[in-house]
Amino acid sequence: MAETGEIGRENVALRRLVAVYRHLSSLAVQDDGIEAVIELIAERVDATVAVVDDKLTVLAAASPSASTDEAARLVGERMVHPRLAQVLGVAGRTRRALRLPDVEEAAPVVVAPVLVGDEVPAYLMTLDETAERTGEDLRLLLTEHAATICGVILGRERVVAAAATQVRYDLVEGLLSGTGGDAEEVLRWARHLGYDTECDHRVICLVYDDEQGLGGESAELGSRVAAAVERFFTTHAPEAITAVRDAEVVVVLGEPDPEAPRAERLARDCLRRMRELFRTVAVTAGIGATCRAPTEIARSYGEARRTVEVTRRMGRTGVAVSFEDLGIHRLLLQVADPEQLRQFAREVFGGLTTGGRGNAADYLTTLGCYFRANNSPQRASQVLHVHPNTVTYRVRRVEELTSLDFGSYRDRLLAQVALEILDAVGEGR
């Protein structure tokens, strides 16, 4: 009779187990999250249940006799148990549920790895705080099956997140490239990304590199720099639209207050922070002119990208420069073919830059300094650390070799524009 009673209790336990299994399996095909799973298990086994990640951070917690916050606090207190980390490690390696028996005043804990593919991103834990230790096998089986269901849910969430990320990336790419079919379509893209059409925006392009470049073995460093730059802007401007593209991070930043523009300020703060985090990496920021209509984002991005290119060609890295600050370079950038600009500069300085003259660079550097010093040999000589007569001699030699007359406004303007071109398109002096 006793045997029959024992068999009856086992049958009841099995029926309960099957019922919970079915309920858990139904959660896997619905839109419920891991919170629904642990709430069900907490109710059925009358224990505190939680899911923690591999860094022992509580992702979700539930208890039949306490609030969610109280359950999370209780689990957090148990995270300091010296043997718990070992149990998690063993469970992760063996891919099996394990039980940490009660030690001193700590109640038993059942730990099951949550598998997503070949990874173990989290663990499901059942904390038995009751005085009576019954149904331990049932608790172990339920914890293990619940961990499987949590793995299915987390895997589904990863797929959805990956798809959402790809959609977001495609939308951002469409805005930056200006490939939208019409203004209404571009407006829909922008609204999906949270773009506020009621205020002005600026596009910030941040390009990063080091002396050896960020390819090959430095690819991981480049990824960390990009992540840090993006995290800086999402922290300081949560509404900003960000995108990582090759060796650059693009930020579409709102300027709601014209009296307190923040694009330059945040860009400079970001560069300062990157210098603190990555000593060998130079991040250069270009800031496009303001835009409001979503169809203008591509134009602002193009200005920001070209600003970075010009700034780097002029040997200025690790700085933030606005498109408006480029001066005459803004006009030069409107020429689609840089070779046309180079040809113009070669025509202006043709006699100086041809014929293998080894001192052409010194002459052009001196001439540029002379113009910036308002045609003063004395002030130019102080910058160049040479005698004023040397400045005068080099300027005259440029006139002789190029047939220019710097006493003529037109010739002086041609020379100044040609010097700016040489800086802008990469044929440095």
Q: Are residues 229 and 304 in the same domain?
A: yes
State which of 296, 326, 356 marks the end of a domain.
Answer: 326
Residue 188 and residue 108 share a domain = no
The model carries a pTM of: 0.57
CATH number of the domain within which 150 lies: 3.30.450.40
One domain, residues 153 and 187: no
In a domain, 429, yes or no: no
Answer whether residue 392 is part of any domain: yes
Same domain, 182 and 317: yes
Q: Which residues pair with 126 in a beta bridge?
A: 49, 110
| In a domain? residue 270 | yes
Q: Say whether both 189 and 132 belong to one domain.
A: no
Domain's final residue, options 326, 351, 377: 326
Is 353 within the bounds of a domain?
A: yes
Q: Which pLDDT value is given to residue 275?
A: 92
144 Cβ contact list (under 8 Å, min separation 6): 96, 97, 112
Assess whether 188 and 212 both reside in one domain. Answer: yes
Cβ atoms of 304 and 286 within 8 Å: the answer is yes
Rounded CA gap, 254 and 78, in Å? 44
Residues 371 and 306 in one domain: no
Q: At what angle do helices 388-402 and 360-372 cross, to 10 degrees?
A: 110
Residue 12 inside a domain? The answer is yes
CATH code, 391: 1.10.10.2840
Q: Return the C-alpha torsion angle 51, 52, 58, 61, nearest 10.
A: 10
Three-state SS for 155-179 is: HHHHHHHHHHHHHHHHHHHHHHHCC
Q: What is the DSSP letter of 130?
A: S
My answer on whether 212 and 120 are in the same domain is no
Q: What CA–CA distance (Å, rounded) separates 376 from 399? A: 16
Residues 188 and 147 in one domain: no
The pair of structure tokens assigned to 115 is: 């598998």
Residue 203 lies in a domain: yes
The number of folded domains in the chain is 3
pLDDT for residue 265: 94
Same domain (yes/no): 121, 191: no
Tell me, what's the pLDDT at 293? 92
99 close to 110: Cβ distance less than 8 angstroms: yes
CATH value at residue 306: 3.30.70.270
Domain co-membership, 184 together with 312: yes
- The reply to whether 164 falls in a domain is no
Residues 316 and 342 occupy one common structural domain: no
3-state secondary structure (DSSP) of residue 219: helix
Contact in structure between 193 and 168 (CB atoms under 8 Å): yes
pLDDT tens-place values along the chain, 429 residues long = 444 556 655 555 566 666 666 777 676 666 678 888 888 888 887 888 889 887 788 888 988 888 888 888 888 877 766 677 777 888 888 888 888 776 555 667 888 899 888 888 899 888 876 545 545 677 788 888 888 888 888 888 888 777 777 778 888 888 888 876 678 888 888 888 889 999 999 999 999 876 544 444 467 888 889 999 999 999 999 999 999 988 899 999 999 888 888 999 999 999 999 999 998 889 999 999 999 999 999 999 999 998 998 888 767 789 999 998 887 776 776 666 777 778 888 888 887 766 445 688 888 889 999 998 999 999 999 999 999 999 999 999 999 888 899 989 899 988 888 888 887 665 544
Quote the DSSP letter at residue 7: H
Is 415 inside a domain boundary? yes
The last residue of one of the domains, among 326, 357, 387, is 326
Question: 70 in helix, strand or coil?
Answer: helix
Domain of 284, in residue numbers:
178-326
